[in-house]
Structure 1
C-alpha cells in the first residue's frame, strides 16, 4: 500500500511499546489492521497519550492510512491524541454513583486538583458507569509508565500483568484513595458482593425459606480464580470433556432445546445463532465473547470474569468447537483491568495444559482465544460495532442484513455471545437441554443474574430462577427498601417500574406485559430523595455522549432529548412543561422508529417509561 505517512518520528519509548505488540511477520500484504487497538493501548500504557509520531509509526507498521487511524484513535474515550496527564482518575458520575457519593467526590477532587483535565502531572475526569455500582462511588485509574512499576488488583500470576499497563479500579472511592492511587500506590480494589451458596444458606436459615440452587455463581468465592486445579476440583472442564465426547451437533441441539436466550439484553435465541454458523459451509468461522459490559448499572460479567475466569475460557472452548470456529476473541471492557488479568492468566494456564491450542484435550480439535481490550465506547456492546472495533475500524454499527452469522468478523460466519450466556452453556452440556428448559417457562428458561444497586441493604450480583418475582429478588438483597419510589429495570436502555409492580415475574414475557424489560439485569432502586428529572437528564446525557453519530435520528435526537430535560431541570422550559414533554415524546418516536441500531432505538426508553408512570410531569 502506498501510504502518505506523517513526518513526525516516535520517541524510543513509543517505538518500543508499539513494536512489542506488532509482530515482525505480517504476511504478504503487511496489513494487520485488527492490531490497531492493541497498538494504541500500548502507547497509552507507555506514555499516556498518542502523539503524531506514535500514530505515524503505528500506521507504518500496520499499513493503515493516517487519516483512518486518527479516526479510530479519536473515537474512544480512553484514548487521547492530545497531551494528557500520565495519571488520570476517571470518576463515575452515572446514575448509580452520582446519587451515592460520585458528585461529592468530583467536587472534592476539583478542590484538591483543580478543574477536570487541567493539570499536566495528575488529573481527573468525569466518567460514565464503570461497572462497579455495588460499591459506589467508583473510580478507574489510568497510570502510564514503566511496566516494571505496574501493579495488579488481584494476584493472577506474573505473566498476567504483561503489557497491561498500570490500571486499577477503586470502589468505594474517596479523596484519599484516589490521591494515593494517582501517586502510584497500589490501593485496595473493589470487593464485589455476590449471592454465594454460603450466603444463601445463611439467609435461608434466618427466614425459614429454601434457597434456590446456584449454577452461574456456584464457584464464586469457593474456587481460587488463579488456580486451574482448584477449578477442576469443583467440576471444571467436565463440560468440555462431555462436549468432545458427544460431538458438536449434539451440543448445538442441546443449546437449542434448552431455549437459552442471550443475557446481554437482546434475548436472541442462542441455538439459532449456533445452528446457522455450525451449518455454514465456510471453513473459516469465528466466536466472539462480548465482555464489553457498559450498560449503566451492570456489573455481573465483571464479577464472573474476576471470580470464575476458567469457566469463561472453558465455555468459549465448548462454543467454538461446537460451531466449528478455530479462533475465539474475547472483547473485554477497557475499564475492567482486574477481569482482564484474570482471564489472560486463565487462558495461558489452559494453553499450558493443552486445554486450548492445536490439540484440545487430545481430541485433535483446534481452538484458541485472543483477548482484545476495548477503549471506552458503549456502542461497541452492539455486535456489529464490536466487530468493526475488532477489525480496527471505528466502532460504528453496520447495516443488517447481512447478519453476523452469515458475514460477521472479517466477513466470515460469526457467533457473538456475552459472558453470562456462554457460562450457561456449561450447565446445559452437563445436564442436558430439557433439564435447563424445565426452569422458568416459554422463552425464559434457566437462571439469570441480576445486578442490584441503589437503596438496597445488600447491593451485589444475585442469581435467581427465571420466573422469580421482583419482590422475591429484593428480599434476597435485604427486603423492599423504605420509601422506595421506583426501580430502573434493565439499565439506562431499560424502563422504570413502581412499587405496585413488584410482584411481576422476572421473565421476558411478564415484564413485556407491563411495558418493561429485563435488559442486562439491572435493578437500580431509587427512593423519594432522588430528583427524577436530574436522573433522567443524566441518562439522556449518557446516550448523547455515547451515540456514534452515524445516523441522524440518534445523533440529533439524543442531543434534543438531553436539551429538553436540561431545560426542565433548570426551570427554563420553552413554552411550558407540557410543551417540553410533548417534544420528548416526539423525539422518542423518531429515534425508536428510525435509528440504525439498538442504542438510538432504546435511548428514550427510560424517559418514556418515566413519563408514562408520572415520575416527571407538569407538576414535577
Structure 2
C-alpha cells in the first residue's frame, strides 16, 4: 500500500484469506507475535511516543489521536489501570470489526497486550456485541491459545508484566457503543451514557483510569511497532495516516471489506468493488454509517479521511459506506434509519427520547402519503432541538440522515406531499358535485 493509492498491499487484512487464519499457528507463521517481544523490551512511554508519532487516529468514528489518548492516563496514581476494547459495532452499515475478529483475532489480542503494557494496565476487557455469538466463540478460543503460549497471564515472555484478558458479551444495545455506556454495562449496570467530565482517562471502569479504543485501532498497533511510525505515515494522508478497512454494502457488484489508504475516494473504491450493481447509477451514500450526513453522486471524489469528509459536510465515522442507487426513495431510507434510532434510544434524555419518537411518527406519515409541506419544517425544527442538546452523540447522529436528506433531496419529500394532494383532489370534486 503506497501513498499514491495505486499499489495496494494489505496490512490489516493480509492474513484474512490464509487457511485457518484465526489460529495462533497461522498467525505466528505470518509475523504474528513478533511485535510483542520488541514492545516488552521498550519502555512504556516509548511505545506511547511511537504511536503518537505514527499519527494513528481512533478507527471507531471520532478519529481522536490514539497516542494522545494513552498519554492522558495518570501514572503513579496508585490506582489500577484498564484497557477496554469497544467491539460493540452497532452502527447501521458498519461491519469491519467483526470480520477482523473472525479472520484475525490474534492481531487484536497482540495489540491489546502491547497497549496494556504501554498504559500500565494489568486487566483488559473486549466488549463484543452479544448477537455475534460465532465471533465471541472465536475470540474466546484465541484468548485461550494466547494464555497457553504464555502471551497472557503472569510474567509474559519473562518480562515481569502480567495481563489478564476477558471477552465480555454485551446484550445487544446500540447505546453501548458509546464508551461510557459501555463502561456502565461492563460494571453490570444498565447501559446509559455518563456525564463527562470526569472522562474515562481518569475515572473509567470501576472509577479508575481507563483507555477505551476500537478494535481496528488496537489491531493496528503491532504493525506500527514492527514497521515504525515513518512506515505507517507513508500510507494515507498527512493528518489521517495509515491503512483503513472500508465496508461497502448496498447496491455494489461486490460488497464487502476493502482495505485501502486513508484518503481514497468512493470512485476508486467502486472500481475495486466492480462498480454499481446492474449498472444502475448511484443516488446517495453514507461515508461512515447512517449517523453521518449522507453524500450524493457529486461527492464521488471526496477524500475519505477525517478532514476530507468534514470539509465536504459529513464525517468519516466508521467508514461504513452504504451505497444506494436511483431506485431507492430517500424519505423511505431515512424513515428506516430513524426507526432504528428511536428503538435504540436509551431514554435517559428528553431531546433524544421524545425527538426520535416524533421524527419517526412524521416520517412514517409522509411515506404513507399523508404528509404536508409543513412537516418538512417540523422535521428540521425537531432536529434542531435534538442536535447539541442530547446527553450523548446518539441523538446528534439521529438527526444527520434527516437534515442531509432534506438538504439534497427536499424535492422528494415535497413530491410525497403533492402525491397526497393529487389523490385527495378527486374526492373533493366528488363532494362539491
**2:378 paired residue among 571, 574, 583:** 583
Q: Within 2, Cα distance between the matches of 1:246 and 1:257?
A: 16
> How far did 1:440 drift?
2.4
* Structure 1 residue 590: Cα displacement: 1.3
Contact 1:306 1:343 in 2 (8 A): yes
TM-score (norm 1): 0.65
List, as ranges, runs of 4+ consecutive aligned residues in structure 1 with deviation greater than 3 Å: none
Give the conservation status (yes or no) of the 8 Å contact 1:282–1:412. Answer: no
Q: Which deviates more from structure 2 when the two are superposed, residues 323-332 or residues 210-219?
A: 210-219
> Counterpart in 2 of 1:561?
359
In 2, distance between residues paired with 1:379 and 1:210? Answer: 38
Give the corresponding residue for 2:407: 612
The question of whether the paired residues in 2 share the 8 Å contact of 1:282 and 1:413 is answered with no
Q: Pairwise CA RMSD of aligned residues?
A: 1.5
**Which residue number corresponds to residue 41 of structure 1?**
none
Contact 2:50–2:229, Cα closer than 8 Å, also in 1: yes
Q: d(CA) in 2 for partners of 1:250 and 1:220? A: 30
Aligned to 1:453: 249
1:599 — aligned with what? Answer: 394
2:331/2:405 contact within 8 Å kept: no
Contact 2:248-2:256 within 8 A present in 1 as well: yes
2:423 is matched with none
Q: Is the 8 A contact 1:372 1:390 kept in 2?
A: yes
Report 1 or 2 for greater relative contact order, CA contacts < 8 Å, sequence distance ≥ 6: 2
Task: Sort the Cα spacing of 1:379 and 1:258 in 2 relative to 1 into closer, same or farther, 3 A.
Answer: same
Q: Does residue 496 in structure 1 map to residue 291 in structure 2?
A: no
Counterpart CA distance in 2 for 1:442 and 1:385 is 33
- Return the offset for 1:469: 1.4
* Structure 1 position 261, deviation (Å): 1.0
Q: Distance in 2 between matches of 1:560 and 1:553?
A: 10
SS of aligned partner of 1:618: helix
Query: What SS does the corresponding residue of 2:72 show, helix, strand or coil?
Result: helix
1:471–1:480 CA contact under 8 A, matched in 2: no
Q: Note the C-alpha offset of 1:210.
A: 4.8
Deviations 1:292-318 (A, max 9, x none): 011111111110111101111111111
Which residue of 2 is the match for residue 410 of structure 1?
Answer: 206
In structure 2, the residue matched to 1:274 is 70
Q: CA deviation at 1:470?
A: 1.4
- Preserved CA contact (<8 Å) 1:278 1:324: no
Query: Contact conserved, 1:357 with 1:368, CA < 8 A, in 2?
Result: yes
1:434 shift after superposition: 2.7
What is the aligned partner in structure 2 of residue 368 from structure 1?
Answer: 164
Distance in 1 of aligned mates of 2:7 and 2:230: 22
Secondary structure (helix, strand or coil) at the match of 1:619 reads: helix
Distance 1:282 1:491 in 2: 40
8 Å Cα contact 2:126/2:168 also seen in 1:
yes
Shift of 1:489: 2.0
Determine if contact 2:84/2:126 at 8 Å carries over to the other structure: yes
Distance 1:280 1:267 in 2: 28
Candidates 111, 133, 137, aligned match of 1:337: 133
Q: Which runs of 5+ in 1 are unaligned?
A: 1-196, 198-208
* Counterpart-to-counterpart distance in 1, 2:17 and 2:308: 32
Asked if structure 2 preserves the Cα contact closer than 8 Å seen for 1:406 and 1:414, the reply is: yes
Report if the CA contact (8 A) 1:490-1:519 is conserved.
Answer: yes
Correspondent of 1:507 among 281, 286, 305 = 305
**In the alignment, does 2:279 pair up with 1:484?**
no
Q: Indicate the residue corresponding to 2:224 in structure 1.
A: 428
* CA drift at 1:266: 1.2
TM-score, with length taken from structure 2: 0.92
- Residue 279 of structure 1, CA deviation: 3.4
- Please state how far the C-alpha of 1:496 moved relative to its aligned partner: 1.3
**Rounded Cα–Cα distance in structure 2 between residues aligned with 1:439 and 1:370:** 33
1:225–1:310 Cα contact (<8 Å) kept: no
CA distance, structure 2, for counterparts of residue 568 and residue 442 of structure 1? 44
C-alpha contact 2:287 2:304 (8 A) present in aligned 1 = no
> Could you say what secondary structure the match of 1:440 adopts?
coil
Q: CA deviation at 1:487?
A: 1.0
1:617 to partner: Cα distance: 3.2
Distance apart, 1:282 and its partner CA = 3.5
Q: Deviations over 1:423-482 (max 9, x none)?
A: 111111111123212322343110111111111010000111011111101111112452
What is the number of equivalent residue pairs in this alignment? Answer: 410
Per the alignment, residue 54 of structure 1 pairs with: none
- What aligned pairs does 1:37-48 form with structure 2 within 5 A after superposition? none
Q: How far is 1:366 from its partner?
A: 0.6
Which secondary structure state, in structure 1, belongs to the residue aligned with residue 336 of structure 2?
helix
Match of 1:571 in 2: 369
Is the Cα contact below 8 Å between 2:15 and 2:21 reproduced in 1? no
SS at match of 1:293: coil
1:179 is matched with none
CA-CA distance at 1:278 after TM superposition: 5.7
CA distance in 1, matches of 2:203, 2:155: 27
